[in-house]
Structure 1
Amino acid sequence: MQEIDWIILIGTLVFIAGYGTYKTRGSNNVQDYIKGGDNTKWWTIGLSVMATQASAITFLSTPGQAYHDGMGFVQFYFGLPIAMIIICMVFIPIYHRLKVYTAYEYLESRFDQKTRTLTALLFLTQRGLSAGITIFAPAIILSAVLGWDLTTLNILIGVLVIIYTVSGGTKAVNVTQKQQMGVIFLGMFTAFFLILSYLPEEINFTNALNIAGASGKMDILDFSFDFENRYTFWSGIIGGTFLALSYFGTDQSQVQRYLSGKDVRTSQLGLIFNGLLKVPMQFFILLVGVMVFVFYQFNAAPLNFNPAATDAVHESQYSEQYQDLERELKEIQEQQQTRTLQFARGSKNAISEGNYKNEMLQLNKLEIEKREQARTLIAAASGKVETNDKDYVFIHFILNNLPRGLIGLLLAVILSAAMSSTASELNALSTTTMIDLYKRNIHGKSEDHYVKATKWFTLGWGVIAIAFASIADLFDNLIQLVNIIGSIFYGNVLGIFLLAFFIKAVRSNAVFTAAIITQIIIIIIWWVDVMPYLWLNLAGCGLVMGIAFLIQAFTPPQENNLANAE
């Protein structure tokens, strides 16, 4: 990175943090600090909801996901617009009518305190883990840029976010997310058009799509019912709907964004705005990853995109074996480039589309084998270095191919997304801790006391998130890890809310017991890998509702009468 990149990167981040702190100074009551004064505009809500979900993981991990596996991941989002409509029709009117600060307040009025507390704790557990991962993601970037260790970077990033989140609360999160989304959209469009400009002259966008399609990267829809395949049309439209319902309807990090609207219509417009833009945005980000794949059909790609892993193995006894693999990969890439140029030029000697596709699939298979062998050598060389490089693909492209100035902008994009999402999560965690646990049990204190307590909770959750980020690893890749964590808990929480909204015959004790049993079962199902994680949302929702029905059916009438009396 050059001096201009550092100026743009640091200037962007300092401006966003400073702007959020300045615009929201003086929040001295719970209404202003937690709900932003109930005067947020609908477009701010829409961008804030989108920015909360679009963490650094989205812009770091999603292009890498597309580079390796293609566009099929977009099916994950197919259920989101359906969920937005349901939430607008059912969830938002109820929340606004009851004037709640958190989604879980409603559960006490419908069931009892222990059900509210249990649901809040389920949220705090999964969102606390996810907050750590959203800090870990940008640490990967700076680690690649600076060569610093991840723990130091986790602390630096976490502290930066904590400062303005503690200072301004919900309003600070909302006002900064507009600027962050602006930087994000500018950076991603810039990267996309630069990638196209870097392709050979005879390769236009249509050719690029054909090249990607020949390697299976443009296979978007999969209508199979194969449980071995995580991303299909059915898992997206069914499992994705339940995941989105749970996330946007019951996760406080999202609910808090649209509860800051002045009325029901404002909140509804904000969510519909998010629903209309979210799927195209994710499609575009995946397409950027596919274009990176096409770029590397004409340019040398490293055997492993993690520079720390490459350095570690080159300094070990496995260096010679690794260099052999690098030479073998180079030969494969030269064959890919030759065949791809012949195919794209359409000359008399060009190979047919069918033959080209078969050859590319074979060459891609060989390339994957070499990369797997490289990961084995890296693991043998150093147990401390991350061998999984999916999340390093896009950052490697940025650092090695973009012109001066734009590197700083793209890094600002990813770090802005990290700050945005992490701030929302810490804000929601502190709010839930304050409203559903602390204030519910500590009565009679002043507004100033509760605001200060919320700030301390924000700081505490920030420290916990930093600690978890310091022990995290990349799993398969980060965007999948975040969604897996959510899917383990979300279905259960959604089922509790659906029982509360629609099934009046089921009482609190039945729901509380069913929720505990369901959570244990879902964790076991995930642990033994019975089904793809998206289906856990449907399974959890169905289980908690079914078990609650059964428990209620076998509950003696006198106990029901006591419950009704309560």
Structure 2
Amino acid sequence: MSTIDWLVMTGTLAAIVIYGVLKTRSVDNVKSYLMGDRDLKWWTIGLSVMATQASAITFLSTPGQAYDSGLGFAQFYFGLPIAMVILCVFVLPIYYKLQVYTAYEYLEGRFDIRVRTMTALLFLIQRGLAAGITIYAPAIILSSILDWPLGLTIFLIGIVVIFYTVMGGTKAVSVTQKQQMIVILLGMVAAGVVVVMKLPDGVSLPDAVGVAGQLGKLEVIDFKFDLNDRYNIWSAMLGGTFLFLSYFGTDQSQVQRYLSGKSLTESRLGLLFNGIFKVPMQFLVLFIGIMVFVFFLFTPPPIHFNTANLEKVRSSEYATELSVLESEYELANKTSDQASTALVEALKTENEASIGSAKSNLMVAMDARRDISSQVDDLITKVDPEAITEDRDYVFITFIINYLPIGLVGLLLAVIFSAAMSSTSSELSALATTTLVDIYRRSLVPGKEDRHYFTASKMLTIMWGCVALGFAAVANLFDNLIQAVNIIGSLFYGVILGVFVVAFFFKKVGSKSVLSGAIIAETFVALTFIASYYEYIDLAYLWLNLIGCVLTVGLAWFFSSGSKLIKRMMGVEVT
């Protein structure tokens, strides 16, 4: 990486961090540290909410997802606007009326301390794990660029993020996220422009879109009902909506963002802003991934995008076999280039026969490339049986490092690090807030002075940073990072949402019933995921959100009222 790129990247990040520290240097009490001064306008809230969700994973893994399977992943976000409207109508007024620090405080007043503590613990577990992945994602970049050990890179990034969060608390998170989102959006637009400009002469943006369409990359909506399909319209509108309701309505990393709003109206507008603009932003990121896919039809892609894996093979006894495969891959790439050019020309003439023939030839060339890459994966596994051969997460960073002009490389790396800083700092701040307010101050060490809790907040932020670092060290066990985050969330979000649904809408259900229902539902969700993971059943992870929520609500109602109703129907006397 050039000196200019280093200056652009470090200068951009340093400016954001310094701005955040300067804006929050007066924070000296626990309320300001955890909640800010509740003076944020709607556009700051909206950008902050978007930045919290848009982690580095979004800009590393999502383009790779599109490269592999097209626009279908966009369906995942179709339930987001629906969830935002529901939260604005039903949930935000309750939070503002009670003036809570965390979403879980409300549960004690509605039920009791046991339900509050259990729900807070579920959040702490899933968000603590997810924070590890948001640290791991940018660590992939630096370890690849600087040839540093991945473990050391994870540690260094984690320390920087922990320091940044401890210094400023939630207010530093909020005031810097506006700048971070501006950098992110500018950087991604620049990447999109460059990838189109890098297409061969005679291949325009409409030509690239036409090729992608012929290869099925632009198919967005899948109406086929398949419980094992992760991304179709049914899993998105049902499972996805429940996931977003729980994430934005009960996850403290998001609740903390809009509870810092100047008023209920400002927070509502901020959430609606997120619901309107988040989906187009995801389309942009996915579309860039598809353009990278088209680019690599004309320009030879690496035989394997994770260069660290290739180096292991090159230094092993399988180096000769790799060299042979690379020669075959070079020929397959030439065929791909020729077939792609022929398809572009055929699309311009609108000759169906020529289009069909060119498309068929291109599909054969792509199959040949995939077959050779699969053989390389086998060599990697022979050298290192523990190696992860899935390389989608390395696609976009490979394009950034090798094909963006000097200066833009630094800007795109600043984009990814800005996203990592914003999401990870939000998560660590939320974890510290929940631990302090819902567990430490409420149950473990009540009645201390403000200064004690202010110091404890910083210590808890450091503690959760260490937990996240620990999980980041094993995050490479996942095939795709964007899916890993959503899978972890789906294991817990449905049950958490179910508890809040009971609290909001089932006023006669008591604490014992909802506690029993949530414990059973969470156990069932965990066992269902394990059965799906080991392929005993076919079920996409998004459905776990719906299952967890419905099961929690159903069991809570049954334990409270349903059992009595059944006994009456059977003629059994009910006391």
Query: CA shift at 1:115, angstroms?
Result: 0.4
Looking at structure 2, the residues matched to 106 and 555 of structure 1 have their Cα atoms a distance apart, in angstroms, of: 27
Looking at structure 2, the residues matched to 131 and 325 of structure 1 have their Cα atoms a distance apart, in angstroms, of: 39
Q: Deviations over 1:441-481 (max 9, x none)?
A: 22221111111111110011001111111122151200000
Q: Which amino acid aligns with 1:391?
A: D
**Partner of residue 514, structure 2:** 511
* TM-score for both structures, normalised by structure 2: 0.95
**Partner of residue 570, structure 2:** none
Contact 1:202 1:345 in 2 (8 A): no
Alignment of 1:206-285 (within 5 A): 206-285=206-285
SS at match of 1:284: helix
Q: Deviations over 1:325-378 (max 9, x none)?
A: 222222222112111112212488986223333333333333222222211211
Q: Which amino acid aligns with 2:451?
A: D
Contact 2:314 2:322 in 1 (8 A): yes
Tell me which stretches of 4 or more aligned residues in structure 1 moved more than 4 Å.
347-351, 554-557
Q: Deviations over 1:351-406 (max 9, x none)?
A: 62233333333333332222222112112112454322110000001111111111
| Stretch of structure 1 that moved more, 546-555 or 151-160 | 546-555
Q: Which amino acid aligns with 2:321?
A: Q
Query: CA shift at 1:502, angstroms?
Result: 0.2
**Partner of residue 93, structure 1:** 93
1:462 to 465, 479, 485: 465
Q: Which amino acid aligns with 1:30?
A: V
Aligned-residue Cα RMSD (Å) equals 1.6
Alignment of 1:344-363 (within 5 A): 344-346=344-346, 352-363=354-365
Q: Deviations over 1:129-183 (max 9, x none)?
A: 0000000000001111001111111111111111121111111000111111111
1:543 to 541, 551, 570: 551
SS at match of 1:304: coil
Alignment of 1:309-388 (within 5 A): 309-346=309-346, 352-383=354-385, 385-388=387-390
Contact 1:388 1:474 in 2 (8 A): no
Does 1:502 pair with 2:505? Answer: yes
Looking at structure 2, the residues matched to 372 and 110 of structure 1 have their Cα atoms a distance apart, in angstroms, of: 55
SS at match of 1:25: coil
**Partner of residue 560, structure 1:** none
Query: CA shift at 1:89, angstroms?
Result: 0.4
Q: Which amino acid aligns with 1:538?
A: L
* TM-score for both structures, normalised by structure 1: 0.96
Q: Which amino acid aligns with 2:272?
A: I
Contact 1:518 1:544 in 2 (8 A): yes
Contact 2:33 2:454 in 1 (8 A): yes
Looking at structure 2, the residues matched to 222 and 555 of structure 1 have their Cα atoms a distance apart, in angstroms, of: 40
Contact 2:342 2:358 in 1 (8 A): no
Does 1:449 pair with 2:452? Answer: yes
Q: Which amino acid aligns with 1:527?
A: I
Q: Deviations over 1:293-344 (max 9, x none)?
A: 0110110101110111111111111112222222222222211211111221
SS at match of 2:321: helix
SS at match of 1:375: helix
Looking at structure 1, the residues matched to 136 and 386 of structure 2 have their Cα atoms a distance apart, in angstroms, of: 16
Q: Deviations over 1:415-435 (max 9, x none)?
A: 110011000000000000000
Contact 1:215 1:364 in 2 (8 A): no
Contact 1:247 1:490 in 2 (8 A): yes
Structure 2, unmatched stretches of 5+, are 566-575
Looking at structure 2, the residues matched to 496 and 349 of structure 1 have their Cα atoms a distance apart, in angstroms, of: 57
Counterparts in 2 of 1:281 and 1:349: CA distance versus 1, 3 Å: closer
Looking at structure 2, the residues matched to 381 and 43 of structure 1 have their Cα atoms a distance apart, in angstroms, of: 51
Query: CA shift at 1:110, angstroms?
Result: 0.3
**Partner of residue 562, structure 1:** none
Alignment of 1:151-230 (within 5 A): 151-230=151-230
| Stretch of structure 1 that moved more, 358-367 or 160-169 | 358-367
Looking at structure 2, the residues matched to 74 and 518 of structure 1 have their Cα atoms a distance apart, in angstroms, of: 29
Contact 1:162 1:458 in 2 (8 A): yes
Looking at structure 2, the residues matched to 363 and 70 of structure 1 have their Cα atoms a distance apart, in angstroms, of: 18
Contact 1:214 1:360 in 2 (8 A): no
Contact 2:36 2:171 in 1 (8 A): yes
Query: CA shift at 1:35, angstroms?
Result: 1.0
Does 1:433 pair with 2:439? Answer: no
**Partner of residue 393, structure 1:** 395
Contact 1:83 1:245 in 2 (8 A): yes
Looking at structure 2, the residues matched to 324 and 236 of structure 1 have their Cα atoms a distance apart, in angstroms, of: 44
Looking at structure 2, the residues matched to 70 and 277 of structure 1 have their Cα atoms a distance apart, in angstroms, of: 20
Counterparts in 2 of 1:348 and 1:186: CA distance versus 1, 3 Å: closer
Looking at structure 1, the residues matched to 563 and 36 of structure 2 have their Cα atoms a distance apart, in angstroms, of: 43
| Stretch of structure 1 that moved more, 37-46 or 438-447 | 438-447
How many residues align? The count is 557
Contact 1:133 1:468 in 2 (8 A): yes
Q: Deviations over 1:473-503 (max 9, x none)?
A: 1512000000000001000000000000000
Does 1:149 pair with 2:149? Answer: yes
Q: Which amino acid aligns with 1:463?
A: C
Structure 1, unmatched stretches of 5+, are 558-566
